A = this chain, B = another copy of it.
Amino acid sequence: MKFLTDEKLTIVGAAGMIGSNMAQTALMMNLSSEICLYDPFEPSLEGVAAEMVQSGFEYAHITYTTDIAEALKGAKYVVSSGGAARKAGMTREDLLKGNAEIAAEFGKAIRANCPDVKHVVVIFNPADITGLITLLYSGLKPSQVTTLAALDSTRLQCALAKHFNVRQYEVRNCRTYGGHGEQMAVFASTATVAGEPLTKLIGSPKLTDEQWAQIKQDVIQGGKRIIELRGRSSFQSPSYLSIEMIRAAMGGQAFGWPAGCYVHTDKFDHVMMAMETEITKDGVFYKEIKGTPEEIAELEQSYGHLCKLRDEVIEMGTIPPINKWNELNPHIK
């Protein structure tokens, strides 16, 4: 059996719907001969591990543990879906505080147990923030931590394919940048539909301004829509896409969508956000985002929202003020 790598891949949150799907996806892709499943919830974790070996993935060495130190020891690649889900009665702030603290613990655990890790993908919400916190506490380089941001772009692709009644692959280069949810910046100028620039179609009878506004709205509400339909948060698409990201970081097939990463430019700094990126064996590299002046203005607004969210976490005390970040992680300038 040929694996992409023999270096250890650890899946954090493996007992959950996303984590267990990540495990299966990674095994199906033959990513690593050494896969460790971690979750604090013992019986479910054992159940997931049992399902994996009972699927006949007999060549990979699949281990599981409820001990985070053991799970991360020697890990070269880590994907984490290990946040808490929003429960009834919880405010958005409760969730933010809870997951921010989980991310801080996760970052510290990386620093303590696998400082030589090569790449970490963080996907628990709000991923821009949990990824940033993980980066700060882990002491890793900004190029070593990415967050899942692709789903907004694939949702845009799907919505356009549906509207124009074309096959999905005929809609190319759909891009959303910046934050997620209400705060994302949906770009039109990057995309083509059956070879035609989307910007030329918007405002024509083929795609009126109202219809385009509705599509943008649907993309923004995409996650909510899955909850309405399935009665649960999406889990197959985020897990699949995040495993595609770690595959790229292992030197496998290129990842074709935006990824969340730490940015440090004149305009944007001290946040993690969805960028145009390349993920390679050497980590994530972002490129300058190009768009119309309106799109760039939207992106700046999205960035502003992310800064506010980050400042909330600073106020909560989960991360120090920006001017102290360098003390926590010398790779942050």
Please give the residue numbers on chain A whose beta carbons come within 8 Å of chain B beta carbons, in ascending order: 1, 20-21, 24-25, 28-29, 43-44, 46-48, 50-56, 58-59, 61, 150-151, 154-155, 157-158, 161, 167-169, 222, 225-226, 228-231, 234-237, 240-241, 244, 256-257
Picked from B56, B59, B230, the residue with its CB within 8 Å of the CB of A154 is B56
Picked from B1, B43, B256, the residue with its CB within 8 Å of the CB of A228 is B43
A158 CA to B46 CA, complexed, in Å: 13
Chain B residues within an 8 Å CB radius of A241: 55-56
Chain B residues within an 8 Å CB radius of A150: 56
9 more contacts with CB within 8 A, not counting A56-B150, A59-B168, are A1-B169, A20-B236, A28-B28, A50-B226, A51-B236, A56-B157, A56-B241, A56-B256, A58-B168
Smallest Cβ-Cβ distance to A44: which chain B residue: B230
A44-B231, A157-B58 are known contacts. Are A52 and B169 too (CB-CB below 8 A)? no
How close is A239's CB to chain B, nearest CB, in angstroms?
A: 9
Picked from B21, B155, B256, the residue with its CB within 8 Å of the CB of A54 is B155
Chain B residues within an 8 Å CB radius of A58: 157, 167-169
Chain B residues within an 8 Å CB radius of A168: 53, 58-59
Q: List 29 A-B contacts (CB under 8 A).
A: A20-B236, A21-B21, A24-B25, A24-B236, A24-B240, A28-B240, A43-B229, A43-B231, A44-B229, A44-B231, A46-B229, A47-B230, A47-B231, A48-B236, A50-B225, A51-B226, A51-B230, A51-B235, A53-B168, A54-B234, A54-B237, A55-B154, A55-B240, A56-B157, A56-B240, A56-B241, A56-B257, A58-B167, A58-B168
